[in-house]
Structure 1
Amino acid sequence: KDSSNNESAKDAAHVVTIELVNGVLTTPTVTSSIYGFDGGGGSKTKQLITGSTQSRIRFDFFSGESFTNAEIQVTLEGMIFTTNDYYTISGWTHPTSDQISNNGHTLTFTGSNIGVSDIAFELHNKVMPAPGTYLIKFKADADGPGTARSYSEEQVITLIILPPA
């Protein structure tokens, strides 16, 4: 409503979801439009050949707002995370086995305290699965579970696995 008490028309572009969790009013973590393969500013798809071994597949996500004790979750279709892969917020590190779940398909890490910044991932020495379309999904809770922010909408990039030529 404006100062004259006129109410604007309702439309989907201006909807805000508010979620009540454990008695705390929460709102979703802000997403960013900068994410994707090889630096995040480029492609949201990557094509590879089935059966090929990729020494490195890099994908990046930039946080949409400042993180304080954040929880970040990435899920792979068609491949699994291992402790030989890497992620970085302020320095490259291997995921630990307790950060990997969902039969290797999900990586969750907590405690991130960065400003708006790049979060990068590198998958190492992965054999490409059968031909098809596989999603890599990313979501973040800027201040950790059960607090003022909730998980963002999932952001998705796509691996397209092609048959041999």
Structure 2
Amino acid sequence: MIDWLIATIPIIKSVHIAGLIIWCGGLLAMPMMLGRHRPADTADDYRQIRHATHMTYTICVTPAAVITVIAGTWLIFLREAFVPWLFAKLAFVALLVVAHAWIGHILAQIAEEPEHHQPPKAIYPVIAALVPMLVILTLVLAKPALDGITFPDWLLEPRGAQLPFDVPSR
């Protein structure tokens, strides 16, 4: 069982990274798609853009976000990664989820007003998504020690409860 779990770590990591690329790319692209609307365009043209962004959000970006979070959670437990930089990363993942929900709210709000075709300012949702993305990327690549931040011991090690499967040791 342990050998099988160790063999799946690269696959799960690949799924996590692929989902993250789709998720982050969609969060950046959708507000910019809406922001490209020109006032001279017809309401029907804007309806097509709204429909495309809505379908992208519901069929592509949100499932990618769910897959990314699930795969990342599996990686935490399979790798027994209970390190301070990871907790900082998870805080920024939570901010990315908030940005995801906010962009979804903007898309839903625009869809509810079909006669109104004034696009929102794309820069605010893009910044709300881009800042956590850059911090997460920096934390993952640098893996800083974060020695100045103290965490309680119970947060840095498994709590003694057994998972429903064997976790490989390092």
TM-score normalised by L of structure 1: 0.22
Larger RCO (alpha carbons 8 Å, 6+ apart): 2
Larger fraction in strand: 1
Query: Higher helix share goes to which structure?
Result: 2
